[in-house]
Structure 1
Amino acid sequence: MSAEQIPYVAFLRAVNVGRRKVEMARLRAELDGLGLGPARTYIASGNAFFATAGKDRAKLRAEIEQRLEQAFGFAIPTALYTLAEVEEAYAAAPFGAKPPEAHERFSLLFTTGPLDPQVLPQAGKRGDWEVVGLHGATAYLHYRVVDGKGPANPVPLLEKAFGVQGTGRFHHTVEKIIASARKG
């Protein structure tokens, strides 16, 4: 009897930004090559879906990161969640059902490890972003346009503060990622 396949979502950090090009077909092929196929992707910002059984998550993440660095020539930090964990993090978001105003955005920061609430509060000096909650390895960010300027990227600062690596996805995009992952 084979072990139950667990659906995963891999969130790749900083792909298809600048010279960090990752073609989604090649990404799927690399994941398939690790025995994680058939892998699927959603949009070109680095969201991949696959199922596997009986693998230690830390080892699996290390295998994925090593394979992708070899394939693409640069490190690709990967936040690895089960689909159930992504659904839970989405459901726990403190944003409520109200859509953001025109000057604001809601985002989930998916990270590589648990987040210590004692590191809070975390916020931009201009009031352009703040962490409004935590759930396991996920932080919830509220972005604002201040004086006509969009928010600075808080991810490097938050990675340092929490001692993890992470990548953000807008709240409405996470809903679409979940729907796409469920189709598999």
Structure 2
Amino acid sequence: MTRYAVFLRGVNVGGVKVLMKDLTQLLLDAGFTEVKTLLASGNVVLSVQITDPLAIQEQCNALLASHYQRPIPTLVYTVEEIQQLSAAFPLPLPQPAGEHHGYYTLCETAQDAQEIGTAIDGLENHGEYAIQGRAVAWIVRKGESTTNPIGKLMDAQAKQRIVSTRNHNTLVKVAKLLI
């Protein structure tokens, strides 16, 4: 069995709410094992015999679309990817550090992450960011994630590609569940 992290995008959109207890049961019924969720935002770890993350992603997407009668895109990350993302955040948090969050926008492909990086470069006063594989790391002051230039860009990118943003602390917790 291989462990994976699955991140859902849009767990409470369009009047359809995906409850984590229901999601857990749906995945167990589909043959996944050791299913655990974290928070109510669509963070799942699971075990499966399949070794191709893309095949798992396709299976999860089809399962969710069938059950909820609307697409709920997922991103599937390997243990190794999550370990890298949950290590020390690659950017220094501005002082006071307690007033800032480190975020990762998780992407479907490394090319998506690179293209988002190029888009960030085109923003005025965008602040620091870093590309790590299929993810883009960025920093925002607490309470400003929807008004920050990068935050606004990430919202726009979510309409064009499969991405989902998570706090670095969430990825640290997901990594602990994968062990």
Rounded to whole Å, the distance in 2 between the matches of 1:24 and 1:146 is 25
> Which blocks of at least 5 consecutive residues in structure 1 are unaligned?
none
Query: Would you say the 8 A contact 2:104–2:165 is kept in 1?
Result: yes
Quick one: higher RCO (CA 8 Å, sep 6+), 1 or 2?
Answer: 2
Question: Which residue matches 1:45?
Answer: 41
Q: What percent identity do the matched residue pairs reach?
A: 22
Contact 2:91 2:130 in 1 (8 A): no
TM-score in terms of structure 2 length: 0.80
Secondary structure of the corresponding residue to residue 94 of structure 1: coil
For 1:64 and 1:17, locate their aligned partners in 2 and report how far apart those are by CA, in whole Å.
17
The 8 Å contact of residues 7 and 50 in structure 1, kept in 2 or not, is answered as yes
What letter matches 1:157 in structure 2?
A: A
The yes-or-no answer on 1:16 pairing with 2:16 is no
Does residue 165 of structure 2 align to residue 168 of structure 1?
yes
1:106 CA displacement: 1.2
Larger mean CA deviation between 88-97 and 164-173 belongs to 88-97
Contact 1:126 1:146 in 2 (8 A): no
Aligned residue pairs, count:
174
Q: Which has the higher helix share?
A: 2
In structure 2, C-alpha distance between the alignment counterparts of 1:112 and 1:100, rounded to whole Å: 33
Task: Return the match for 2:114 from 113, 117, 124.
Answer: 117
Which amino acid is the alignment partner of residue 154 of structure 1?
L
> Alignment RMSD, CA only?
3.1
Where do 5+ consecutive residues of structure 2 fail to align?
none
Structure 1 equivalent of residue 101 of structure 2: 105
Structure 1 residues 164 and 88: alpha-carbon distance in aligned structure 2, compared to 1, 3 A threshold:
same
